[in-house]
Structure 1
Amino acid sequence: MAQSVGYLSLTPSDAGSQGGEVDQRRIVFVIFEGFQPLDLFGPYEVFEHAHQHTGRYSCQVTAPRPGPVRSGSGLPVDVPYGVAELDPAGIDTLVVAGGGGVDQARHDRALTGWITDAGAGARRVASVCSGVFLLAAAGLLQGRRVTTHWAREQQLIREHPELVVDCDPIFFRDGRVWTSAGVTAGMDLALALVEDDVGREVAHAIAQEMVLFLRRPGNQSQFSVPLWSGQPSTDPIRAVVSAIHADPGARHGIADLASHAGLSPRHLQRRFTAELGIPPATYVEGVRIEAAKRALAESGHPVETIARRYGFGTAETLRRAFHRHLGIAPSDYRDRFRSTREYL
């Protein structure tokens, strides 16, 4: 199909034109109106690079109907095959994109039915970001441990109690099911799938060509906003929370916090945990980590100074806390997220 003016035309790669000389792996991507473009293009490019190295991959894209499919950002993609035209048999890897349109697409019975059939016969199934909702609607995730974008975690837990949801990993494998966090995490997932197929050497070469991490350091916590607790519902606990946020580096032992609430330490421990879902000490550490993250990103203060200012005492204590919560060292966090304003 010739490329059409105004939108991208996706035809199958020429991977299948080699006369059967190499065992081909058929990779099929599923998109829909309102999909996230990078959920498709990132993994697609990884597999196309892998094909250039190995000759082993054939990529196809499908959607509920053939023709232009508009992404969430407005970029239309010309899809040659709708699900009614694409044989679900013989698929090696089924990859489902995510995006805002998934909330409507998962109620498309023709689409989810095709995903059910294709996924049942595929060697493995994968989702990027909120594409996990389509896999769940297709009945392919029963009892599985999965991940998705951190912003969708609570929705997935609420709507699919049959799943074990863990939104810390960038991607996660449970048997033949692979799921990933959002947007660029689809490339991490695709690299892992390629490495699983043909080994680290090829995956490393692709990562070098595409300027990617073969193993991205850290986990989703380093990118997320602080959604790790509930909100206080009574004035005494609000007073405690306000005191912690007002000065994260102050003394916030249980006796100190109890004095803010006008409660006994034991009573505070019980009420705080009931209202916010976590104990006071855990909340204090979370607030201190958020404060340290901002300081690392927005200031040039040494790590030792930040550690003292925000209640960690030493740089080593801060380093351990960052590794425990974020999977990354404070210095690496600064390198990744610091503002460039001070250098302009």
Structure 2
Amino acid sequence: MEAVQHSKLIVIVAFPNLPLLEIAGPGDIFFQASKAVYEKIGFENAYKVLVVAADRSEQIVTRSGITISSPTKRDDIQQPIDTLLIAGYNFENPAIESSDFYDWLSDIYPKVRRIGSICVGTFALARAGLLTNKQVTTHWEKGPKLLREFPDVRVDSSQLFIRDGNIYTSGGVSSATDLSLALVEEDYGREIAVSVARHLVLHLKRPGYQSQFGDLLPEPELEHGVFGKIQDWMIANLDKDLSVEQLAAHSNMSPRNFARVFLRETGLTPAKFVEKLRVEMARKLLEESDLNIEQVAGKAGLVSLVSMRRIFLRNLMITPSDYRRMFRTTRNEVAFA
């Protein structure tokens, strides 16, 4: 454990209309970590958390309608910043886009020990020019957009959080807690981080990846194209032979021409599309049905337990049994008075 002589100032720079959890999650974790550090080594205020508005306003209105007071402006911070976290990002806010926020961000970066982003805050770091050739993550829905807009950034949106040097990026909203716990462990060790996780009833390291939350299938642009005409039949026959030859025959096309048109419409080969379609069906059955995993494999056309496990790991980075434990409906498990 490193010798601590002063509080570590954590500054969360928040965009308007962000989810409250992006602020509250890290705030509660760093507060609880300070308490745990005091109980263990007697050092008070190991962390101090300050929330400031990206647009210099004195209030941050969150997406839920809850307003957070932020009287301190980012330019008024006098104490050295240990960790700077960018929470949220407003894609259509001209006040932010036309401000000197990104100049400030690139200027402050060399002065902090580490800098990070929560969810789509990765876009702000990229716009400030801090992510060139860096490996990063962001919300799984926004990964493709980040890559399109910043092709010099290495995007892996399957991860909950990624560290590249002293730059830390996290995935979806709740990944703010995963990242914050990792920062606490980095600062004060596993024992303190575990203490925080236990108190807040969190995983120190959550199992799985963002991949398990996202949709595997693209949305074809041509609703009435080859895919549009065959999709219902494919879904109804997932437990049957869905080879290119069978799909082409059902579409009255040659296998070669069918494969070419299908790839153009969906961005995936027929075989890869069928695999992902079967995984999506299996996910739904694991979440909502009482079928055992072998029965799920059969109904989804995944052949066997071994094959299903391999395909789940390839597409979702999680086993079918772990997926069911994490996402199964709670309808039959919640006790009502």
TM bin, normalised by shorter chain, reads: 0.7 to 0.9
Q: Please give the TM-score of this superposition, normalised by the length of structure 1.
A: 0.86
Deviations 1:208-261 (A, max 9, x none): 111111111111122223444644476334334343223222211121112122
1:310–1:175 CA distance, 2 compared to 1 (3 A): same
Aligned pairs for 1:1-344 (under 5 A) are: 22-54=5-37, 55=43, 56-63=46-53, 64-65=55-56, 67-87=58-78, 90-98=80-88, 101=90, 103-104=92-93, 106-228=96-218, 230-232=220-222, 235-342=225-332
Percent identity for Structure 1 against Structure 2: 37
1:338–1:94 CA distance, 2 compared to 1 (3 A): same
1:120 Cα deviation from its structure 2 partner: 2.8
1:75 Cα deviation from its structure 2 partner: 0.6
| Distance in 1 (alpha carbons) for counterparts of 2:270 and 2:57 | 54
1:123–1:176 CA contact under 8 A, matched in 2: yes
Q: Which stretch shows the higher mean deviation, 109-118 or 181-190? A: 109-118
1:60–1:271 CA distance, 2 compared to 1 (3 A): same
1:176–1:228 CA distance, 2 compared to 1 (3 A): farther
One-letter code of the match for 1:31?
A
| Distance in 1 (alpha carbons) for counterparts of 2:277 and 2:145 | 24
Q: Unmatched 5+ residue regions in structure 2?
A: 38-42
Deviations 1:89-115 (A, max 9, x none): 73221101015x454264142322222
One-letter code of the match for 2:19?
Q
| Distance in 2 (alpha carbons) for counterparts of 1:256 and 1:80 | 65
SS at match of 1:182: coil
One-letter code of the match for 1:85?
D
| Distance in 2 (alpha carbons) for counterparts of 1:276 and 1:66 | 44
One-letter code of the match for 1:25?
K
One-letter code of the match for 1:183?
V
1:200–1:108 CA distance, 2 compared to 1 (3 A): farther
SS at match of 1:250: coil
1:21–1:284 CA distance, 2 compared to 1 (3 A): closer
Q: Which stretch shows the higher mean deviation, 20-29 or 195-204? A: 20-29
Deviations 1:262-295 (A, max 9, x none): 2222332333223221111110010001101111
1:153–1:165 CA contact under 8 A, matched in 2: yes
| Distance in 1 (alpha carbons) for counterparts of 2:248 and 2:26 | 51
| Distance in 2 (alpha carbons) for counterparts of 1:271 and 1:32 | 43
Q: Which stretch shows the higher mean deviation, 231-240 or 268-277? A: 231-240
1:23 Cα deviation from its structure 2 partner: 4.2
Instruction: Work out the number of aligned pairs and report it.
Output: 323
| Distance in 1 (alpha carbons) for counterparts of 2:307 and 2:192 | 38
SS at match of 1:81: coil
RMSD of Structure 2 on Structure 1 (CA) = 2.2
Q: Unmatched 5+ residue regions in structure 1?
A: 1-19
1:102–1:131 CA contact under 8 A, matched in 2: no
SS at match of 2:284: helix
| Distance in 2 (alpha carbons) for counterparts of 1:229 and 1:283 | 11
1:130 Cα deviation from its structure 2 partner: 1.1
Q: Please give the TM-score of this superposition, normalised by the length of structure 2.
A: 0.88
| Distance in 2 (alpha carbons) for counterparts of 1:338 and 1:96 | 33
